[in-house]
Amino acid sequence: MTGRSLEIAVRRGEETVPATIGWRREGWRYAVTISSARFDTIDEIADDAFEALCRVRGHLEPLGWRISVVGAQMDVWPSGMVRDQGGGLRAYRVGTDRIGDLVDVFEPADPETVTTVEAQRAEADRRFELIRNADAH
């Protein structure tokens, strides 16, 4: 199946450079590829596009690079249902009191607004816990 690609920014410290990120179905899985003149092309495959994106980020983050897409923002995380039914191409904007709207994971984002997978996962866990606790009362 043919996928899509977008021009985005990647950032390391004060250096922001262009990159191309692409995603495609490969059978029942998803592949995500990122390329830039500043690093080797990275290609990862996972059960959903969000997980493949996280794996790509896992290659770049130890080198200081941050991928400027909405799916790398602190307050964005997919539910299991979104991953299963939508392939992880969309995720929720998660507030501290409610789960918000769905957003496109690969939409370009301001480089100032993205974080690491580890920090994003921890923040998503914290926010989901706040929402669960609020719902329990």
Listed by start position, the domains of the chain span 4-136
Kindly indicate the confidence band of residue 89, based on its pLDDT and cuts at 50, 70 and 90: very high
**Least confident piece of the model among 23-27, 79-83, 95-99, 117-121:** 95-99
| Digit-coded pLDDT (tens) for 32-41 | 999 999 999 9
Q: Exposure of 108 by Cβ count < 10 A (0-12 exposed, 13-18 middle, 19+ buried)?
A: middle
**3-state SS, residue 47:** coil
> Mean pLDDT throughout 41-64?
98
Share of the chain above pLDDT 70, in %: 98
| Residue type present at position 92 | Y
Please say whether the beta carbons of 60 and 94 come within 8 A.
Answer: no
Could you report how far apart the first and last alpha carbons of the chain are, in Å?
A: 47
Q: Measuring CA to CA, which residue among 48, 47, 69, 45 is closest to residue 117? A: 69
Do the bridges between strand 29-36 and strand 15-26 make them parallel or antiparallel, or are there none, so unpaired?
A: antiparallel
pLDDT higher than 80, residue 2: no
Name the pTM for this structure: 0.94
